[in-house]
Structures are given as C-alpha cells and as structure tokens.
Structure 1
Amino acid sequence: MPTAVLIDGGYFVKRFRRIEPHNAYNPERAAELAHRWALAHLTSSGCDRRDLYRIFFYDCPPLRKRMHNPISGVCIDYARSPEALFRVALHDALKQKRKVALRLGHLADSNAWTTDSRTLDALLKGKRTFSALLPSELHPEVRQKGVDMRIGLDISSLSLKRQVRQIVLVAGDSDFIPAAKLARREGVDFVLDPMWSAIPPGLLEHINGVRSTCPRPAFRHETWGAKASAAGSDQTHRRAWPGAAQGDDL
C-alpha cells in the first residue's frame, strides 16, 4: 500500500523561508521544493521506493481586503501585498503538480490589529508606550480556520479506510497527537517531518519515526536532539539525534 504526505502549508512556508531566505517570495520555488521534498520520503536507505498515494497541502487563502492602519489612518489593500501575491501564486503552482491535492481552510473575519511578540512584551512591561508605536509595527490579526481540522480528518480517513500504509506529516506542533495515535492503532506507519525544527516531546512519543528530507536551515540551534532525548518510553526504531545525516531514517 502507498504513502501519503500531508503538509501543513503555514508551517512549510515558515521553514522554507528559513532554509532559502533569498527565495522567500518565490512561489514557483516553494511549490517545486514542497513537491520534491515530499517525493523524497518515498525512498529511504535500504528500502525500495514506495508508491505515492497523494501529497496533500493544507493552507488558507491570504488576507485580501482593505483595512485602515489605526495609527496612520492609511488604507491598505492587502490583496496587493507581497504575501497575498505569493500565496495565490503558490496555490496555483501546487495545483499544477502531479498528485498534489490543495486543501484550503478560511480566515476568521476580524478587523483587529496586533503586533509582534517582542513589541507586545515591551508594552506590557512598560518599556515602551502605545503612543510610541509606529504604523509599520502593526499588522492585522489573521487567524486560520479549518486547516487543522482538515488534516486530522484526512489522517483519520486514510487510516480507517486502509488507503495507505504510511503517512508522512510535515508539521511541528502537538495538535495532531490524537490523529497520530489513531493512525498508529490502525497499523499505519506514522512519520513526522519537522523540517529540522525542534519537536514537542508529547508529539514525539506518539509517532513511529522522524525524518526530514530538506536541507538544514543556516541556524542550527533549531535541532531535535535536546527534546528528542527527553521523549517517553514509547519509542521505535527511528529516532532523532544531533549527529544524524540529513534525510536519513532516524
């Protein structure tokens, strides 16, 4: 039976931009690498090439409405922003890839504005005042809806219907633990690809293995070793360790 590769699009884009910052807004390159790194999971040292069931890419359409910056009062058309143009082009490029299924959620309708965590922390600690905020330090509060639910439903459906023998999940948080546990109970080989990011121990103990097929980002402090070594006793033959070679089954 074949392998299905499920990619959390928001997570993938963040890691892709860490790996190739010079291509941060190159949608064709992002789509090409998403497809290439997914296909790389079909081969591993000492094993024959596996069949591909499908590559699922989960994301949301970008923010495409006009909003007024609360400090400057300037009206910004986010449909023309670099991020919106990148996301639309990325989704179009992925649709052209063989055996790629694009699963889109939606954005929560909100007119709220926020800032980055460092600026917010400085405001809460009194190191900065709200009156000193710059217009460029604010951005709309965008929340994705339906993406995690779609990933969980597809993991459950693929496992219960016995459509695949292996599921590779490209993600990095612990939201998918219930789905991963269900897949393992159904006899599915569940592999996590965190793209060389650190893994929550709670997630590590509920999967069968860890493997990243992309290059390591330049900043190598984001490795698995410390958290992987703290995992629980429910471990299998593939585990992460700091000296592992890129792309090896661990």
Structure 2
Amino acid sequence: MAILIDGGFFLKRLPKIVGEDRRDSAEKVAGIIKLMCRNHIRYLTKCPKGQWQDHVYRIFFYDAVPYDGKAHHPFENRSVDFSKTGTALFRGELFDRLRKQRKVALRLGKVTREGDWSPPAEKIRRILATRDWLAGIDLSGLEDGGNLALSKVQVEQAKSLQRKWAEIRNEDVTLGLRQKGVDMRIGLDIASITLKRQADTIILVSGDSDFVPAAKLARREGVEFILDPLWQSVNDDLFEHIDGLQSGLWKPGTQPPAAVVKAVEAEDDNGTDD
C-alpha cells in the first residue's frame, strides 16, 4: 500500500481534529501522521499493530519549502525575514523528523512570491463598499482652511468605516505567496505507482478534486483508490472516482487518550528511506 499525504491540506485541517496540546510541536505532528498511517493500514489489513509497516510500500508527504525571502511589512513598518518565521521553523523541523521515519519520503515543491501585501478578501470587500459614501463628501471647504461639515448620517458612516479598518489587524495582512509543484508531484506519483505496479492500494489524504484524473487512471489499471478527506465533505466529482472513503484520524471534537499516541511514537522505527 502507498499512502500519499497532501501536507498543506493536512496541516490546515489538523486544528479542526486535534487539540492544540497535541499539535504544538513538530514532534507531536509527526507522531499524529504516523498514527494516521498506522490506523489506515490496520483497518484495511487487520494486521497486528507491530506489523503494519510491513504492508507499506511508501508513505509520501507532499509540501513546499517555505518562502525564505524578505519583505517590508506595511503596517508594522519593519522588515520580515520569512526564513525565521514560526511557520518556516516548524516546517523545517517537521521535514527533518519525517525524513528519519521508516518508509517515509518527502516530495517538496516551493513557495514563490507573486504579489504584494494585502488584507483578507472579505474585509477588503467591506471597505470597498464605502467608496460611494466617500465620493459623496464635499471636501472643498478644507481648501480654504475650513472645517469638514458632516451630517449625522455621514458621521455614523465615518465611524463605521473606522471600525472596518480597525478590524484589519497586522497579522491579517499577508504577502502574496503561492505554492508550486506540489499537486503535480502527487499526480505524477499516483501515475508512476499505478503503472509500475508498486502498490495494490493507494490511500490519498486530501480533499482536492484536482486529483480526479489521477484517481481515474489508478482505478482503470486495477489499483484500489482510498480517499481520506479528514472528515471534510467531498465534491461529487471526486467521490465518484474513488473506491472507498475512510479516515485515519478520529472525528472532530474527539481525541484518543494521550497514551495511544505515545504508544505509536514508541514503536520500533529502525531504518530510513530516501
């Protein structure tokens, strides 16, 4: 069996499933990944817990190397070194830990800068809605040193605009970064594993319908294709082209005892794979 994990999707979805105390370090997240894979294999094979890795061809973890450039933050008026951010440091440590796990292979794309700083789209829409009101204010009196006269309605609108700007916090303003090469690597590996007969079953941890063509190829060639969307709803076009839907983690809102996770982390994990 081959397990393919869309790392960006997994890490974004994880907070909805796992409490913060179980994912506050790269070591713990690596343990959760191992637990998820073990649960998938044991569910499909019914093998003893210490033998689940014997059924694994490879566990592929796909993500992107964090952006390591620098940029000047427009709100905080300071230079940001993205190679030293919490996200970059966490990803780097997680990648190092996964490299040392048995039968785990990393497939890393890259993150490139494609835009400038911008607030969240939904907050921008609310501010843009005030354009007509601002255009209707008569500013001619200010040219002669006079005061800006506003009606009661305009004063309330001005206060509303002020509140909308206050909703945009410094951390909301993000740089236009884009992940590249990850989806392509997943699709190529699905095709390669299928055509080379390297596995009888492919388990994909993702919720992206972009993988429908790859899933169709695998099924046409006789490979069983299992999808784990981590309890997220799945589009009909993706659901149509899979052989099964199952999750290797517990339902959101529930967690196994900490001893279960620690037991998986303590299992013998000798040997590494490139």
Q: CA deviation at 1:47?
A: 4.7
1:147-162 matches, cutoff 5 A:
147-162=182-197
Distance across 2 between alignment mates of 1:123 and 1:181: 44
Q: CA deviation at 1:45?
A: 6.7
Counterpart residue number, 1:120: 124
Which of 53, 68, 77 is the matching residue for 2:81?
Answer: 77
Counterpart residue number, 1:217: 252
- String of CA shifts for 1:118-177, please: whole Å, max 9, x gaps: 323323444758966443320112211000000000000000111110000000110100
Cα distance, 1:209–1:19 mapped onto 2, change above 3 Å:
same
1:223-238 matches, cutoff 5 A:
none
Counterpart residue number, 2:112: 108
The question of whether the paired residues in 2 share the 8 Å contact of 1:169 and 1:192 is answered with yes
The question of whether the paired residues in 2 share the 8 Å contact of 1:195 and 1:213 is answered with yes
Q: CA deviation at 1:109?
A: 3.1
- String of CA shifts for 1:214-237, please: whole Å, max 9, x gaps: 011229xxxxxxxxxxxxxxxxxx
Cα distance, 1:128–1:146 mapped onto 2, change above 3 Å:
farther
Counterpart residue number, 2:38: 39
1:212 aligned counterpart, secondary structure: coil
- The structure that is helix-richer by fraction is 2
Q: CA deviation at 1:21?
A: 3.9
The question of whether the paired residues in 1 share the 8 Å contact of 2:115 and 2:177 is answered with no
- Percent identity over paired residues: 42
Distance across 1 between alignment mates of 2:180 and 2:44: 38
1:1-250 matches, cutoff 5 A:
3-22=1-20, 23-44=22-43, 47-48=46-47, 51-126=55-130, 133-218=168-253
The question of whether the paired residues in 2 share the 8 Å contact of 1:164 and 1:188 is answered with yes
The question of whether the paired residues in 1 share the 8 Å contact of 2:67 and 2:112 is answered with no
Structure 1: 5+ residue runs without aligned partners? 220-250
**What is the aligned residue count?**
217
Q: Which moved more, 1:116-125 or 1:168-177?
A: 116-125
Cα distance, 1:21–1:113 mapped onto 2, change above 3 Å:
farther
- String of CA shifts for 1:69-117, please: whole Å, max 9, x gaps: 1233211122221111111111011111110000000112335223334
- String of CA shifts for 1:172-204, please: whole Å, max 9, x gaps: 110100000000000000000011111111100
Aligned AA for 1:33? Answer: I
Normalising by structure 1, what TM-score? 0.79
Instruction: Kindly report the root-mean-square deviation, in angstroms, between the aligned alpha carbons of the 2 structures.
Output: 2.2
2:113 aligned counterpart, secondary structure: coil
Structure whose CA Rg is larger: 2
Distance across 2 between alignment mates of 1:93 and 1:45: 26
Cα distance, 1:173–1:45 mapped onto 2, change above 3 Å:
closer
Distance across 2 between alignment mates of 1:215 and 1:200: 21
Distance across 2 between alignment mates of 1:43 and 1:128: 56
Cα distance, 1:141–1:161 mapped onto 2, change above 3 Å:
same
2:57 aligned counterpart, secondary structure: strand
Distance across 2 between alignment mates of 1:59 and 1:102: 8
Counterpart residue number, 1:234: none
Distance across 1 between alignment mates of 2:24 and 2:121: 23
